[in-house]
Every structure is written in C-alpha cells, then in structure tokens.
C-alpha cells in the first residue's frame, strides 16, 4: 500500500497492520458548553503502519515565528 503525506512529493510505501483504535462520535461537555457531534455516521479507524521515511531537514513556523 502507498500513502501520500505532506512531507513527500510522491506516495511512500507502507505496511498496513491490524486496526489499533476506533474513534466513536460523542458529545463533548466543557464547563457549561455542550459540543454536538458533527458527523454521527463517521467512525474513524486507525491502523498501525510502518514508519514513513523522513526527509531532513523539515522547517516549520507558527504564528510566533
């Protein structure tokens, strides 16, 4: 299998492992605020994959410079 990531110009080969995490949609309560489920049908499933080859250096910048 090949995946595209933001650090590589071309897709990179990865080995797909077994599922490791299932994310279920839930309500979120913070203080007195209730955050509704945005997409109740979507249930992301995360798989273990082999490491993506790194191309160094990678430069990053945030709003503070």
Contact 45, 18 (CB under 8 A): no
Taking alpha carbons only, the member of 28, 3, 1 closest to residue 15 is 1
pTM: 0.44
Q: Is 20 helix (H, G, I), strand (E, B) or coil?
A: strand
Q: What is the pLDDT along the chain (65 residues), one digit of tens a residue?
A: 787 877 778 887 888 788 889 988 889 999 999 999 999 898 888 888 777 667 777 778 888 86
In 1-65, DSSP assigns E strands to 2-3, 12-13, 16-22, 28-30, 33-35, 45-49
**Cα distance between residue 51 and residue 29, in whole Å:** 35
């Amino acid at each position: 299998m090949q995946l595209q990531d933001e650090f590589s110009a071309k897709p990179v080969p990865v080995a797909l492992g077994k599922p490791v995490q299932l994310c279920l949609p839930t309500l979120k309560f913070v203080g007195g605020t209730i955050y509704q489920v945005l997409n109740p049908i979507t249930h992301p499933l995360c798989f273990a994959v082999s490491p993506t080859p790194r191309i160094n250096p990678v430069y990053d910048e945030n709003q503070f410079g």
